[in-house]
Amino acid sequence: MPIPAIGAVGAVDTTGALSAASGATATGGASFGDALTGAVDNLQQLQSTSNELAIQAVTGNLDDIHNATLASSRAQVTLELVAGVRNKAVDAFNEIMRMQA
């Protein structure tokens, strides 16, 4: 079972995200939202693959433990990345809320 690449997470750092951060256009904001949605979807897919391979390892149906280890590591790193982006977004929101009008 091949393990998919972490493609959608890299999309968070696109020019659309940078233009949304600078407040350029609504289109940039929409692409940033799409990138985050894609990252979460990719995270769910990686976790699902990791779980399937872990079940195969426990039941003895897994031929190569290397694939299970890689899938688990990719899911963990992706989860940490998505959580970090979420934490930065919450920090930015809180900072905006503290600004005086």
**CB-based contacts of 78: which residues, under 8 Å, 6+ apart?**
6, 9, 39, 42, 43, 46
State yes or no: pLDDT of 2 exceeds 60: yes
Q: What percent of the chain has pLDDT over 90?
A: 53
Q: What is the pTM of this model?
A: 0.63
Question: What domain range is 53 assigned to?
Answer: 7-98
| Number of structural domains the chain divides into | 1
Q: Which residue stretches of the chain are H helix?
A: 7-10, 15-21, 26-59, 65-98
In a domain, 51, yes or no: yes
In a domain, 43, yes or no: yes
Residue-level pLDDT at 55? 93
Q: How far apart are CA 55 and CA 46, in angstroms?
A: 14
Write the pLDDT tens digit of every residue in 19-64: 334 444 455 567 888 888 898 999 999 999 999 999 999 999 988 8
In a domain, 2, yes or no: no
In a domain, 1, yes or no: no
